[in-house]
Amino acid sequence: MHIVKNKNLNLIIISFCVFLFINLLENLIHYNIGRYNNKDYIKLSNPSKSDWIKIIFIMFIFAMLQGILTFVFNYYF
């Protein structure tokens, strides 16, 4: 029995991509809030290459979890 059909796979992929896009913006803002937490304003700066790698790696893991959990909840509930 195959529970992952084209419709369900599309749901996983779309959920994954939406999470990556929205979460990238959120993580960039959180990065800058943490970096400039003693300022009265939010200054946006570009993270270093190693920070980008860490941010993207963590986002990728959670995007996969979001896609899989969205599929599971959609399929079973």
Would you state the pLDDT for residue 4? 57
Q: What average pLDDT does the structure give for the chain?
A: 83
Most confidently modeled of 25-34, 45-54, 61-70? 45-54
> Is the pTM here over 0.85, yes or no?
no
Q: 57-69: per-residue pLDDT in tens?
A: 998 898 888 888 8
For the chain, give every domain's residue range: 6-76
Would you state the pLDDT for residue 1? 43
Contact (Cβ atoms closer than 8 angstroms) between residue 45 and residue 32: yes
Q: Which of 7, 10, 12 is nearest to 71 (CA)?
A: 12
Q: 1-20: per-residue pLDDT in tens?
A: 455 567 777 877 888 888 88
